[in-house]
Amino acid sequence: MVTESSLDSLAVASSAIITGDTNQPLRAEIRRAAQLARDSEDHARARQHPKGKYTARERLDLLFDSNTFVEVGRFAGGNINEGVAGSAVVTGFGMIRGRKVGVYAQDFSVRGGTMGEAEGTKICHLLDMAMDLKVPVIALIDSGGARIQEGVAALTQYGRIFKKTCEASGFIPQISLILGPCAGGAVYCPALTDMIVMTKENSYMFVTGPDVVKAATGEHISMDELGGGYVHNVKSGVAHYLGEDEADAIDYVRAVMAYLPNNCDEQPPQYAYSNGHAEDDAAKRISTIVPDNDRQPYDVVDVIHCLVDYGEFLEVHELFAPSVVVGFACIKGQSVGIVANQPAVRAGILDVDASEKLARFVRLCDAFNVPVITLVDVPGYKPGSDQEHAGIIRRGAKVIYAYANAQVPMITVILRKAFGGAYIVMGSKSMGADFNFAWPNSQIAVLGATGAVNIIHRKELRKARDNGENVEEVRARLVAEYEQSTVNANLSLEMGEIDAMIDPGQTREAIEESLVLLKNKSVSRAHHRRHGNQPL
C-alpha cells in the first residue's frame, strides 16, 4: 500500500530532477509538495475506507507489480501554494507481470472524482502516451460524473475521451474497472473499452439514476437494482466479470492481461510448457464427459479443462447468456480464445444474448491476434416470437460477421451435434475456419433426425397410424435410417467440410498441431474498403 516512505521518495525524486543531484538538501517547496501528497492520501483513506473502498493509489498498488508505478502529472490541476494536491484522477504507467501498462484511476476523495478540464486533459494525455508506446490501458472508475461547476467544459472532456478511446480501440487493449459510481454520459467511457469488470458492492453504472427514474416514470428502484454489478453481469451483459470485492476484480484484470498482447501488432505472450502425464490422463477422461445421448446435458467447461494447459480456463461473461461459454486459456503455452456451446443450459442453444456474447468475444480475439477454438454442440437457434421480436436476425448476424471477418487462426471441433444455421455460424469451414474436426458420433444436418423424419415422412407416418401400425416403431426405424444416411458426419467429411474425424482423446493433440501449422497465418483482402457495415 501507499506508505510515507513512498511519498517521501516523491520528494527525493523531484529534488533530483530539479537540482540534478540527489545529495543536495531538499528545498522547502519540495518538502511542502511531499507533505501535501501525504496529507492528500491520509484524507483519501479517511474518505474511502469507511465505505469499504480503497483509495486510488492503494488500488494501483494492487494492480501493478511492486514498486513499478510511475505517475504522470502528480500535481497537474492542483495548487501547491493553496494546499490543493492535484486533480481528481491519477495517471501513469506500471508493470503487470513485467509488461508496461498505462492507467488512469479516478480519485473519489477529490471533489467526488468528478470530471473537469484538468482531469480530461490528464486522461487524454495518458491515452495518447499509451498509443505512442503501444501499451494497454486500464481505467479505474470511481466518479460523481461531470463537474457541474465547469459546465460545458466538463462535458467536452467526455467527448475528447470518447474519441481517444475509439482511436485506441482494436489498437491497444482497454479494460475498465468500475469501483464506484459511474453515471450519465460517463458510462460510455468504459462502454467503449474491450472489457468491463464490476464488484458486488459499491459498483454502479446507469445513464439516469434512481432519482431521475422516479421523477420521470414514478418507478421506485435502488441503485443496485438499477445498475449494480449483478444486474450488469447477469441481465444487461454490460459487464464481463463480477468481482467479490475490489481485490478480486483487480486480480481478474491482471489475469486477463496475461492472455493479451501489448497491441495489435504483437502476438500474445507465449509460455513455456511441456506435455506430460496430466495431458494423457485428461485425454482419457474427456471421452467420459460427453454422453452419447444427444439430449443428455453435460458441462462443457469440464471438456475445456481437459483440453487446456493445467486445466486453467479464465471465463469471460460467465453470468450472462450462459448457453454459450467464452474465455481465455493456453494450449501448449499459446494463448487462445475458446468459444463453446453449453449443453447444461438450454441445450447450448443460440439466442439473442448468446449471439452477441459470442460475436463480441470473437471480435476481441481477432483484434489482438488470439486464435479462436470453437467447440460445437448446438441444436440450433432458440425458436419463438420473443426471439424474433428481440432481433435474432439482426443480433444473430453479428456472429456471422465476427467469424467471417476474423483473420486469426480458427479451429473448430464438433463434439456431438451441429444443426441448421447454428452449425454454419459456429466456425464452420464455409465461414472461414482453418481446420474443422468432428468426433466419431457427431451429427451434422439441417435438422435433428427426429425433427427431419417428422417433416420428410409425415405422410408415411400418417399412413402407418391409419393402418393401425405402431407409429413410434415406424418413426424409430425411419430415424435410424436418417441418422445412418444423413445426420452422421461422413457426408461433411466427404465434402471437405470436416478435415478429419478424431477420437475425443485426440482433440488436444489435433488443436496443438493445427496451431503450429497456422502460426504464421496471414490474410490478404481482395479489395480495399473504409470498413464493413457490421450489423449493430
Q: What are the catalytic residues? A: 184-185, 421-422
Query: Left, alpha or beta for 218 (phi > 0: left; psi -120 to 50: alpha)?
Result: left
* Residue 284, φ and ψ in degrees, nearest 5: -70, -35
Place of cell 508506446: 133
What letter does residue 97 receive in the DSSP assignment? T
Between CA 83 and CA 43 the distance in angstroms is 13
Query: Left, alpha or beta for 488 (phi > 0: left; psi -120 to 50: alpha)?
Result: beta
Q: Residue 405: CA atoms inside 13 Å, Cβ hemisphere, count?
A: 19
Burial 203-232 (b: 16+ CB within 10 A, else e): bbbbeebbeebeeeeeeeeebbebbbbbbb
**Crossing angle of helices 458-466 and 449-456, rounded to 10°:** 70
Q: Which three cell numbers stand for residue 105?
A: 484511476
Between CA 461 and CA 366 the distance in angstroms is 48
Q: Which of 135, 205, 134, 137 is nearest to 165 (CA)?
A: 137
